[in-house]
Amino acid sequence: MFDSKAKLAAAKQGDSQAKGELLDRFRPYLNVIAQRLLDERLKGRMDYSDVVQATYLEASRDFEAFRGDSIETFLAWLRHILRNNISTAHQEHLATQKRSAKLEITMNSIGSYGSSPMQFEQLIPAETSSPSQRMMRSEAAAILAACIEGLPRAQGDAIRMRYLEGMSLKGISERMKKTEMAVAGLLKRGLQGLREEMARIKSGTSSFW
């Protein structure tokens, strides 16, 4: 099993391979957050993966500036870099447009997703929770994001739109150009896939985590 704490400790000691492996492990976590925060008006001009890649490179370059010693603080540091890069992308690409209420809410409410049975709001922990609670939520969120990343693309997109963005079946079907029945099927299979992968992680048989 991948020992993220040990990798972090090794990376802080100057192990470049450990640093690369650590950043690669949390790329899915950043992918899910970037998809949620990137303004819809930008998605036709740039891909969320471009922002994540910029964050990855910046974190690798500036790793020595990271002063934390836990995975929770490391994830908070990565989120901070990602937020800055998304904010910059918004400013550069939307400078001539009036900022929408949706964008204002998005950039000011990081960490306040709606509640759901899967607890997707834990992807970005609330700053008011205790350090131990934030630690648990961050670790769980990173694992959950990796599981979403491992789903077939259509299932992962449906899960993200339904539980992160709170879209209705009708809204998802319109965006994905599929029937509502087809979307419901994607959600059902996606959730089942998540449960199975989480079970494998819990049992220690997952090849990823």
Transcribe 66-100 into DSSP letters.
----SHHHHHHHHHHHHHHHHHHHHHHHSTTSPPP
- What distance in Å separates the CA atoms of residue 18 and residue 24, rounded to the nearest whole number? 10
- Where exactly are the structural domains of the chain? 4-112
The Cα-based distances of 136 to 1, 6, 32, 124, 142 in angstroms read 18, 17, 18, 12, 10
Residue 183's pLDDT is 94
4-112 has CATH 1.10.1740.10 classification: yes
Q: Which two tokens mark 161?
A: 């739109």
Using CB atoms within 10 Å of the CB of residue 104, give its burial: 0 to 12 exposed, 13 to 18 middle, 19+ buried.
Answer: exposed
Q: What is the mean pLDDT of each run of 10 residues along the chain (209 residues)?
A: 86 94 90 81 76 94 92 90 89 60 42 39 47 50 80 90 84 93 94 84 61
For CA atoms 51, 55, 58, 60, the dihedral sign is negative
Residue 39 has a pLDDT of: 76
The sign one gets for the Cα dihedral 180, 186, 190, 191 is positive
This model's pTM is above 0.85: no
pLDDT at 179: 94
Indicate the helix (H) or strand (E) that contains 2.
none
Supply the pLDDT for residue 199.
78
| Cβ neighbours of 93 (radius 10 Å) | 14
Residue 165 pLDDT: 75
Q: Is 140 exposed, middle or buried (0-12, 13-18, 19+ CB in 10 A)?
A: middle
Contact 51, 14 (CB under 8 A): no
CB distance 122 to 140 below 8 Å: yes
